[in-house]
């Protein structure tokens, strides 16, 4: 381990760092240079067992605490995350390659927001009272599920650990979290900080590894729920594995979301929206609006302004605060994106800018805008998960709604227009878990976030996430003499 703020071992179990070099070595690469910055080891079956076992032992006492006491610990952890934002952001940049300009505002800070939000709500978890007539009544108790597994993607390692951990812990559960094998470091820091804030040992354990470790968590009978952020194919596998033991699931999966720009939109805002919907984190954002439908009367103007803005991207050392565009997180993902660019050209898309690898050490793809894209092209159908915007033109409102919905995904959508009636009419018809009007990709902790159709099940953030980390026990209370047939 070469940097001060780095975690000191591969796993964090029962309140402490744990190493077990018997597990496969996983090289942690700084994507901006291709340099190896750390090594972690995949969890062996013994480590997996230890993590689940310690979580199971700690959970009942945690659940028995008053919610305000659980919440106080989460809020303290939020403060520590904010205090250490600089060091944590640097580590996140080294792990993911995302520019420090982004990690300073969207990773530990977003995690802190979730911890603060759910810390506040923890004291307000309550059931319902249901009057039944004749003096009888029922009430409900939202009960924690027990041990929950969290499995993360590579793009927002700190945020994903907190978005899953905060509501799980607030509701009285324990969590075993497995980060993506390509970005393993920051979830360990989240565990360290939670325990420093007073979380009793065992309640947030982090173990490393790739698919097989995630699969072991998804099938273990001691695990009551799996919350996954990942691709649709992985989601299908994890959902199926969880079904065998009837586990609860939350699935935050991929997308191919539409962003619709009407002819009355404030065009510079729409261009900003399209940039935020495609190039943040070099396009490695699940909710990205990668199918940008622009009204035919403004598409020329839109492309001209967009091209001028993309030319201003500062591509360079991600640790330099001036840089606002970084590399892909992995070499494999860079190759996937470059393959998509070849296919797009072959299918007739016009490259307005970018369209190639940037020749420097590490895994860089230039911010790319494709025009003259049609609905049938692969770049308009498949999730690319890279800095590739496809621009399509449209004529009528009904037509663009039908085209926007013609996808198996349903994660997000956006609309730019100054006509408020149209904005609400259109989003009401878009099959997407989250829609933005005259904005894009903002996900505050108090707002539910998640997907429809193949993009997922359940919601993260807001009160909805607490519902997904609890189950209701109903109690009927009789207050009258008991009647019976005989």
Ligand X SMILES: NC(=O)C1=CN([C@@H]2O[C@H](COP(=O)(O)OP(=O)(O)OC[C@H]3O[C@@H](n4cnc5c(N)ncnc54)[C@H](O)[C@@H]3O)[C@@H](O)[C@H]2O)C=CC1
Residues that bind ligand X (CB under 6 A): 151-155, 178, 180-181, 210-211, 214-215, 218, 229-231, 234, 237-238, 252-255, 286, 383, 385, 411, 451, 456
Measured from the CB of residue 321, what is the shortest distance to ligand X in angstroms? Answer: 25
DSSP classification of residue 365: B
CA dist 191 → 41, 145, 207, 307 (Å): 17, 20, 11, 42
Annotated catalytic, 192? no
Measured from the CB of residue 179, what is the shortest distance to ligand X in angstroms? Answer: 6
DSSP assignment of 235-262: HHHHHHHHHHTT-EEEEE-----EEEE-
In the complex with ligand X, the residue whose CB is nearer, 67 or 179, is: 179
DSSP classification of residue 379: G
Active-site pick, 92, 192, 252, 460: 252
Measured from the CB of residue 187, what is the shortest distance to ligand X in angstroms? Answer: 10
In the complex with ligand X, the residue whose CB is nearer, 140 or 219, is: 219
**Residues contacting 288, CB < 8 A, separation 6+:** 255, 257, 277, 278, 280, 412, 441
Q: Which residue is nearest to ligand X (CB)?
A: 214
Instruction: Find, among 271, 279, 280, 277, the residue nearest to 305 by Cα.
Output: 271
**Residues contacting 169, CB < 8 A, separation 6+:** 62, 70, 73, 74, 118, 175, 194, 199, 203, 204
Measured from the CB of residue 167, what is the shortest distance to ligand X in angstroms? Answer: 14
Measured from the CB of residue 133, what is the shortest distance to ligand X in angstroms? Answer: 44
DSSP assignment of 118-161: HHHHGGG----EEEEETTEEEEEEEEE-SEEEEE--SS-HHHHH
Strand 136-144 relative to strand 470-477, pairing: antiparallel
Instruction: Find, among 221, 227, 225, the residue nearest to 248 by Cα.
Output: 225
In the complex with ligand X, the residue whose CB is nearer, 177 or 262, is: 177
Measured from the CB of residue 396, what is the shortest distance to ligand X in angstroms? Answer: 30
DSSP assignment of 13-68: ETTEEE--TTSPEEEEEETTTTEEEEEEEPPPHHHHHHHHHHHHHHHHHHHHS-HH
Half-sphere exposure of 345 (CA within 13 A, CB side): 12
Buried b / exposed e along 166-175 (16+ C-beta atoms within 10 A): bbbbbbbbbb
In the complex with ligand X, the residue whose CB is nearer, 80 or 238, is: 238
Separation between Cα atoms, residue 240 and residue 421, nearest integer Å? 41
Measured from the CB of residue 336, what is the shortest distance to ligand X in angstroms? Answer: 10
In the complex with ligand X, the residue whose CB is nearer, 271 or 466, is: 466
In the complex with ligand X, the residue whose CB is nearer, 71 or 410, is: 410
DSSP assignment of 435-468: EEES--S---TTS-B--SGGGEES-BSHHHHHHH
Instruction: Find, among 357, 149, 405, 373, the residue nearest to 255 by Cα.
Output: 405
Measured from the CB of residue 448, what is the shortest distance to ligand X in angstroms? Answer: 12
Q: In the block, which residue shows the tokens 């307000």?
A: 124
> Which residues are known to be catalytic?
252
């Amino acid at each position: 381990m070469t940097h001060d703020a780095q975690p000191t071992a591969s796993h964090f179990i029962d309140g402490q760092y744990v190493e077990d070099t018997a597990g496969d070595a996983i090289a942690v690469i700084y994507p901006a240079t291709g340099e190896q910055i750390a090594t972690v080891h995949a969890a062996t079956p013994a480590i997996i067992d230890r993590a689940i076992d310690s979580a199971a032992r700690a959970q009942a006492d945690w659940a028995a605490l008053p919610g305000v006491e659980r919440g106080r610990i989460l809020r303290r952890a939020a403060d520590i995350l904010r205090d250490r934002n600089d060091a944590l952001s640097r580590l996140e940049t080294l792990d993911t390659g995302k520019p420090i300009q982004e990690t300073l505002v969207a990773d530990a800070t977003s995690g802190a927001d979730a911890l603060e939000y759910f810390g506040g709500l923890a004291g307000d978890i309550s059931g319902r009272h249901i009057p039944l007539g004749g003096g009888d009544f029922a009430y409900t108790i939202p009960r924690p599920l027990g041990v929950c597994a969290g499995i993360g993607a590579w793009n927002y390692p700190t945020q994903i650990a907190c978005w899953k951990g905060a509501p799980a812990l607030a509701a009285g559960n324990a969590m075993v979290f497995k980060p993506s094998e390509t970005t393993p470091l920051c979830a360990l820091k989240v565990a360290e900080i939670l325990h420093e804030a007073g979380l009793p040992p065992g309640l947030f354990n982090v173990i490393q590894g790739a698919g097989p470790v995630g699969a072991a968590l998804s099938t273990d009978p001691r695990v009551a729920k799996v919350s996954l952020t990942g691709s649709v194919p992985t989601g299908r596998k994890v959902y199926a594995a969880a079904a065998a033991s009837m586990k609860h699931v939350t699935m935050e999966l991929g997308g191919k979301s539409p962003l619709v720009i009407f002819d009355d939109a404030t065009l510079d805002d729409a261009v900003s929206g399209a940039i935020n919907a495609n190039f943040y984190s070099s396009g490695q954002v699940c909710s990205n609006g990668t199918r940008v439908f622009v009204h035919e009367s403004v598409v020329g103007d839109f492309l001209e302004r967009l091209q001028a803005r993309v030319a201003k991207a500062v591509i360079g050392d991600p640790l330099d605060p001036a840089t606002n565009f970084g590399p892909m997180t992995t070499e494999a993902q860079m190759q996937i994106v470059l393959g998509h660019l070849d296919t797009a050209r072959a299918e007739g898309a016009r490259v307005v800018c970018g369209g190639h690898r940037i020749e420097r050490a590490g895994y860089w793809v230039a911010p790319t805008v494709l025009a003259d894209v049609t609905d049938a092209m692969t770049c308009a159908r498949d999730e690319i998960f890279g800095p590739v915007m496809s621009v399509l033109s449209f004529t009528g409102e009904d037509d663009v709604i039908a085209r926007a919905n013609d996808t198996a995904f349903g994660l997000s959508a956006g609309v730019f227009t100054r006509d408020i009636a149209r904005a609400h009419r259109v989003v009401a018809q878009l099959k997407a878990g989250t829609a933005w009007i005259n904005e894009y990709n903002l996900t505050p902790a108090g707002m539910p976030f998640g997907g429809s159709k193949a993009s997922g099940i359940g919601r993260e953030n807001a009160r909805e996430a607490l519902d997904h980390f609890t189950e209701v026990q109903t109690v009927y209370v009789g207050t009258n003499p008991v009647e019976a047939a005989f």
